[in-house]
Amino acid sequence: MHTQNVPKMIQRIQSVYLFLIALVSLLFFSGSIVNFINGSGSVFKITFDSIIKSTEGQGLEIIEKLLPLTVLIILIPIISLITIFIFKNRKIQLRLAMFLMILCTLLVIALIHRSIITITKFEATITPGFKMILPLVMLILSVLVYRGIKKDDHLVKSYDRLR
């Protein structure tokens, strides 16, 4: 009877981290992720699905669609929520946590890559913003999730050895 309680007692902090990753990634669906401004006063915004140019008096213009970024931003909360609910199978949960770490890393790399291209192509400078640091926060949380699940797996295995 006591062995059934062990998996329920652990996994709590990982679930909180996974839920935070899902919440933070949902913030990317609205507004811009990274903003730029160039010498002529044009504002460039990387949103979850495109790069948008905003010029006074001319309105908004979609410069480029960003399908890989869109796919990443959609997959991250889905994988995060699935990982929360697969707590009974730590082996699959560990693989999903590794996949989530890879997705978060790819998101950071994709945003840095698109930012560098935007800076060089339009001679723009980055405007600091809150959402710029969120992909790094998600990456750190995903690493903590992976480490926590791995630690719980070792704990359960050592508990089983003691029986």
Instruction: State what percent of residues in the chain have pLDDT above 90.
Output: 76
Where b means 16+ CB within 10 Å and e means fewer, 126-148 reads eeeeebbebbeebbebbbbbbeb
| pLDDT on residue 160 | 67
The pLDDT score that the predictor gives to residue 9 is 44
Residue bearing tokens 């903590």: 144
Q: With contact defined as beta carbons under 8 Å apart, do 53 and 60 qualify?
A: yes
Pairing of β 50-55 and β 43-46: antiparallel
Residue of 75, 118, 69, 120 whose CA lies nearest to 96: 75
Averaged over 127-148, what is the pLDDT? Answer: 95
Question: pLDDT tier at 153 (50, 70, 90 boundaries)?
Answer: confident
First to last CA, the chain: 12
Q: What is the pLDDT of residue 56?
A: 83
Distance of CA 158 to the CA centre of its chain: 32
pLDDT tens across 86-132, in order?
Answer: 988 889 999 999 999 999 999 999 999 999 999 999 999 999 999 99
pLDDT of amino acid 27: 94
